Structure 1
Amino acid sequence: MKYWINTLILTLFSPLTFAQESGESIEMADVMRSNGKIYVVVGVLLIIFVGLIVNMVRLEKKMNRIEKEIKA
């Protein structure tokens, strides 16, 4: 029941977020895009996210191995 109430509330308030957007473009993003620096930003973010995912997978494997050793 609580799930449905939360879903209803989020559905009702989500169109309000679109109304808050401004019609102006962001100058910094346009300048970075024209200079090609936006690709550097995207690349760095991609490297960080891939590193986090690889780290989480390695930790999960280590934890599974330790759990198996404890059970055995």
Structure 2
Amino acid sequence: MKKIIFTLLMLVTTLNLFAQNNTVEMADALRSDGKIYVVVAVIVIILLGLLIYLFSLDKRLKMLEKKSSSKN
């Protein structure tokens, strides 16, 4: 019974979120100035850097695992 009440409560709160005005003034200003592309480019560069770092770290870990397994 508690789960049903909790679920209904969560549904009611999410319906309230849909009723709000979804305009973001900062995004509109950046879009009108053409600066939104700079923001997107910076985010993409940061994400690519993180992905490259994670793949290189994974590669090093695989080499270390291979070396440690060959010693045993």
TM-score scaled by structure 1? 0.73
Larger radius of gyration: 2
* Unaligned ranges ≥5, structure 1: none
Identity in percent: 38
Matches within 5 A, 1:1-72: 13=10, 16-21=13-18, 22-72=20-70
5+ residue gaps in structure 2? none
Count residues in correspondence: 64
CA deviation after TM superposition for structure 1 residue 68, in Å = 0.4
Q: CA RMSD in A?
A: 2.4
TM-score with structure 2 setting the length = 0.73
